[in-house]
Amino acid sequence: MKKYIIIVCFFCALISSAQDSHFSQFNISKLNLNPALTGFQENDFQGGIHRRSQWNSVADPFKTIAFSFYAKDYFLNQSIGLGFVNDNSGDSNFKTSGLNISLSQVIIKNNTSTLYFGGLIGAFQRTCEISSLIFIEDEGFIDESIFFLDLAIGGLFTKKLNNITTLETGLAAYHINNPNQSFSITSSLPTPIKYNMHFISKHIFTKNINLESSLFLSKQSSFQEFVYGIDFQYNIYHESYNNIKLSLGVYNRYNDAIIPKIGFEVSDFSVNMSYDINISDLTIATNNYGGLEFSVFYSWDLKSKESKKEFICPKYL
């Protein structure tokens, strides 16, 4: 059913879309966080799915789904990543679909520190069913579909302070080519550069209990996002499985949402679920409802772990 929407609101939607789709589980969504995180995993390969649905109580929900695949140290310490994302929002069925290809390279590595550099190129298609909207005045549009390329770069540094504490920090810049996302024939809409910074501290309390604290800051034009939180992890060792890990955490998106999170990891499978509890001025409309998000990842090695074990030759050989 067609809805009457003021033209200003429509263009505000276009501008806000330039702020990108995002996930509350930012430290899991590696291609959205920093291309240098490509291949940043223990296993040779990793694949997964990430799904988010938001604002069900306000309007047609904003739905985002992403698929990703990573190959670690695929060639000469270079890792490669592939990601597909589809974002759908609003009454106009505003869609963004794209494919990202990323590469990362180990620049410096020693016993305690590692420096990574990564780059990303994405190809995106953006569509909007303008015919489903009614404007107060006639507007000029080229088409209901546009195509653009997107570029990003990033750096990542990890430091092992001792046997129990590890630090990770990264800085990335997205849309460095300022791609045009306008449907209008009379004006352009260059995408502002988005800067991401994150910091993660991992601390081993005991053999079974780990603590991970995270901080994420994103800035794109006048839009800013600040998320911080903590995860408690409990490891269960079992003969039938390599490891079972349970996690419970809570995050806060400043002036926007409280985000409880729960997850578990069994052998090479990991599952995480979170929910945004809205605490912003929009609570009048949302009644504190926000966004449900889950992610499922599977990691594996090219060879079995047994075949990767190193054997020390006897001295007499």
Kindly state the tokens that stand for 172.
């990335």
- Whole-number pLDDT of residue 183: 76
Question: What's this model's pTM, rounded to 2 decimal places?
Answer: 0.83
The C-alpha angle with vertex 276 and arms to 275 and 277, in degrees rounded to 5, equals: 110
Q: How many CB atoms lie within 10 A of CB 203?
A: 14
pLDDT confidence of 280, banded at 50, 70, 90? confident
Residue 77, number of CB atoms within 10 A of its CB: 14
pLDDT at 166 over 80: yes
- What are the pLDDT digits (tens) for 68-108? 999 999 887 899 999 999 998 766 678 899 999 999 999 99
Residue 6 has pLDDT above 50, yes or no: no
Q: What is the pLDDT of residue 144?
A: 72
Give 18's DSSP letter.
Answer: T
User: Could you tell me the sign of the dihedral formed by the alpha carbons of 18, 23, 26, 32, in that order?
Assistant: negative
Amino acid, single-letter form, for residue 225? E
Instruction: Evaluate if residue 180 carries a pLDDT over 50.
Output: yes
Q: Which residue matches tokens 């679920």?
A: 273
Q: Predicted confidence band at 258 (pLDDT cuts at 50, 70, 90)?
A: very high
Which band of pLDDT confidence, cut at 50, 70 and 90, is reported for residue 60? low
- Per residue in 129-138, pLDDT (tens digit) is 766 666 666 6
Is the model more confident about 191 or about 139? 191
Query: Residue 315 pLDDT > 60, yes or no?
Result: no
Q: Compute the average pLDDT of residues 148-170.
A: 96
C-alpha to C-alpha distance for 249 and 272, rounded to whole angstroms: 10
Q: For residues 275 and 259, what is the distance between their CA atoms, to the nearest angstrom?
A: 6
Low-confidence winner among 174-188, 193-207, 261-275, 280-294 (lowest mean pLDDT): 280-294
Angle CA 59–60–66, to nearest 5: 130
Q: At a CB cut-off of 8 Å and minimum separation 6, what does 217 contact?
A: 196, 197, 198, 224, 225, 226, 227
Asked if residues 309 and 303 have their Cβ atoms less than 8 Å apart, the reply is no
Q: Please name the fold of domain 3-300.
A: Porin (2.40.160)
- For residue 3, what pLDDT is reported? 41
| Residues 198/216, Cβ–Cβ less than 8 Å | yes
Q: How many angstroms separate the CA atoms of 206 and 302, rounded?
A: 31
- Evaluated on CA atoms 278, 283, 289, 290, the torsion sign reads negative
Phi, psi of 61 (to 5 degrees): -65, 150
* Higher-pLDDT residue of 123, 134: 123
Report yes or no: 127 and 119 within 8 Å, Cβ to Cβ.
no
Residue 13, pLDDT score: 42
Phi, psi (rounded to 5 degrees) for 303: -120, 160
Say if residue 211's pLDDT is above 90: yes
| Region 151-160 average pLDDT | 97
| End-to-end Cα, the chain, rounded Å | 81
Higher confidence at residue 285 or residue 210? 210
Question: Which of 161-198 are b and which e, b meaning 16 or more Cβ less than 10 Å from the residue's Cβ?
Answer: eeeeebebbbbbbbbbeebebbbeeeeebebbebbbbb
pLDDT the model gives residue 1: 37
User: In the predicted model, is pLDDT for residue 10 greater than 80?
Assistant: no
More confident call, 216 vs 11: 216
**pLDDT confidence of residue 121:** 97
Helix, strand, coil shares of the chain as percentages rounded to 5?
A: 10, 55, 35
pLDDT band at 294 (very low <50, low <70, confident <90, very high): very high
Q: Check residue 108 and give its pLDDT.
A: 92
Mean pLDDT of the chain: 83
